[in-house]
Amino acid sequence: MTSAVETTLPGSAGAGTSNVDELARIVVRCMACEERFSGADVLTSCPACGGLLDVVIPTRRKLTPGELGVGVPAAGRHSGVWRYWPLLPGLPEDALVSRWEGNTPLFRDIRLTRYAGLADGHLELKHEGHNPTASFKDRGMTVGVSHAKAVGARIVACASTGNTSASLAAYAAAAGIPALVLVPEGKISAGKLAQTIAYGARVVQVEGDFDVALALLRELTAAYDVYLVNSVNPFRLEGQKTIIFEMMEQRDWQAPDWIVLPGGNLGNTSAFGKALIELHAVGLIDRLPRLAVIQAAGAAPFAAYHASGFEEFAPVEAETVATAIKIGNPASTTRARRSIELTNGWVTTVSDDEILEAKAIIDRCGIGCEPASAASLAGLRRLVRDGIVGVHESAVTLLTGHILKDTDAVAAYHFDNVGGGPRSGANRPIRVAAELSALEQALADALHR
């Protein structure tokens, strides 16, 4: 593609010849028309029919857990993504951009299990906030940016509700590739914006919501030679599969009955379905868990689509306190539908109040997460109450981002009492005179918390 701007873009384009050979061995396939393309191409939709693309991972041969670590390049040895090398696209080693992402904990807490309504020992929480930029996005970004580097991209770009932009900015900085990010003006958390600025991306605040920003960016990437890293990028989703790989490894390859996750643009939902199918195909798990996707009630087009028996999809104007998932027209809807169908999954919604209450309880257990993440626990509780998930079934919920991602949400809950009346467990700091007698009262209060 040519344009006036193109000649002014920085850096040198074009993959080295050895990279082209390695990239050409990777097969990318359209999930709609099954047309096949080369990994050396830069594609975020099928040039033939516009469908979403999958990287094809060979799964005919059975794998043992030990064989998963075979062939891991030195550059990815410490990464919780690249150590699953045989189930990832074989990118050239000199292109790998890693910040030791992944390697996240799987927590248990009896209080949260009881809050969900499950029998003791039946809930685990995979905390993806323990990633380098404090959200799960780093797992996809290490693969997306490594592919961008391998093909010689001169600039990488995304539209974001904040976490993708923070992650892209960091990995682009690590790779030495310029980054452009579009965020909805005034609608992402201050912490995420701060990360994106500090890591050095060119930040554009678009007048409009996330859906407007993504549509605008797709116009730009269609016209200019800009590498798009949103989750329509098939390489990014390959990295996000490793949340499932690591979760199953931590559970000694025993699948839970349910995996519960928040749904926004539906990249994780898409990646999780693919990951489970691949693990099952190579014999590392013997059954498929059911995926349960939880949307905020004010941003729930996928839940409505599911409720219609996947007959009618309609985008919505999104509104929710969980800004990360304030998305009304998810880019990966068709791929996410496939994940739900393949795993006999479910989709439901929770209110902002349910999200905030679940978040306060997760925080109070010393685990902590951002609001969007808490939708998973709130949703599980709802599903147990509705009888969709049985009390004696096992579940893993995904916590997608760190508590410090959105400190405004913490303040609003504990200080402002938005929506009237004190929130349950609200914890407002008190001011005292610098006198021992005043502290004695605080000591008595603290003992009773």
Extract the runs of DSSP E, i.e. beta strands, from 343-432. Answer: 346-350, 395-399
What is the closest distance, in whole angstroms, from the C-beta atom of residue 272 to ligand AN7 in the complex? 9
Closer residue to ligand AN7 in complex, CB, 124/370: 370
Interaction with ligand AN7 in 305-364: which residues (CB under 6 A)? 324-325
The residue among 284, 278, 243 whose CA lies nearest residue 401 is 243
Closer residue to ligand AN7 in complex, CB, 57/213: 213
What is the closest distance, in whole angstroms, from the C-beta atom of residue 237 to ligand AN7 in the complex? 9
Angstrom distance (rounded) from CA 191 to CA 182:
16
CB 287 within 8 A of CB 255: yes
Count the neighbouring beta carbons within 10 Å of the beta carbon of residue 380. Answer: 29
Angstrom distance (rounded) from CA 51 to CA 44:
9
Q: Name the residue type at position 362.
A: I
Closer residue to ligand AN7 in complex, CB, 99/137: 137
Angstrom distance (rounded) from CA 316 to CA 330:
10
Determine if 298 is a binding residue for ligand AN7 (CB under 6 A).
Answer: no
SS (HEC) of 95-155: HCCCCCCCCCCEECCHHHHHHHCCCCCCEEEEEHHHCCCCECHHHHHHHHHHHHHHCCCCC
Taking contact as CB under 6 A, which single stretch among the options 13-21, 102-110, 200-208, 267-275 is the one that binds ligand AN7? 267-275
- Give the DSSP per-residue string, 241-258: THHHHHHHHHTTT---SE
Closer residue to ligand AN7 in complex, CB, 177/229: 229
Closer residue to ligand AN7 in complex, CB, 85/227: 227
What is the closest distance, in whole angstroms, from the C-beta atom of residue 81 to ligand AN7 in the complex? 16
- Ramachandran bin of 304, using left for φ above 0, alpha for ψ from -120 to 50, beta for the remaining angles: alpha
Taking contact as CB under 6 A, which single stretch among the options 58-66, 158-166, 311-319, 413-421 is the one that binds ligand AN7? 158-166
Determine if 400 is a binding residue for ligand AN7 (CB under 6 A).
Answer: yes
Cα-based torsion angle of the residue sequence 65, 67, 73, 77 in order, rounded to the nearest 10 degrees: 30
What is the closest distance, in whole angstroms, from the C-beta atom of residue 53 to ligand AN7 in the complex? 16
Closer residue to ligand AN7 in complex, CB, 163/221: 163
What is the closest distance, in whole angstroms, from the C-beta atom of residue 346 to ligand AN7 in the complex? 15
**Whole-Å CA distances, 449 to 116, 166, 425, 445:** 22, 36, 9, 7
What is the closest distance, in whole angstroms, from the C-beta atom of residue 401 to ligand AN7 in the complex? 3
Determine if 113 is a binding residue for ligand AN7 (CB under 6 A).
Answer: no
**Whole-Å CA distances, 394 to 98, 102, 115, 146, 284:** 33, 23, 14, 36, 19
Closer residue to ligand AN7 in complex, CB, 348/400: 400
Helix axes 333-342, 267-281, angle to 10 degrees: 40
Taking contact as CB under 6 A, which single stretch among the options 84-92, 108-116, 256-264, 425-433 is the one that binds ligand AN7? 256-264
Single residue of 164, 329, 343, 348 touching ligand AN7 by CB under 6 A? 164
Determine if 276 is a binding residue for ligand AN7 (CB under 6 A).
Answer: no
CB 143 within 8 A of CB 236: yes
What is the closest distance, in whole angstroms, from the C-beta atom of residue 7 to ligand AN7 in the complex? 30
63-92: string of b/e by CB count within 10 Å (b at 16+)? Answer: beeeebeeebbeebeebbbbbbbbbbbebb
Q: How far from chain centre, in Å, is Cα 287?
A: 24
Determine if 266 is a binding residue for ligand AN7 (CB under 6 A).
Answer: yes
Taking contact as CB under 6 A, which single stretch among the options 13-21, 103-111, 368-376, 381-389 is the one that binds ligand AN7? 368-376
What is the closest distance, in whole angstroms, from the C-beta atom of residue 164 to ligand AN7 in the complex? 3
Closer residue to ligand AN7 in complex, CB, 150/217: 217
Single residue of 79, 160, 189, 196 touching ligand AN7 by CB under 6 A? 160
Determine if 377 is a binding residue for ligand AN7 (CB under 6 A).
Answer: no
* Binding interface with ligand AN7 (CB under 6 A): 135, 160-164, 231, 262-269, 324-325, 370, 372-373, 400-401
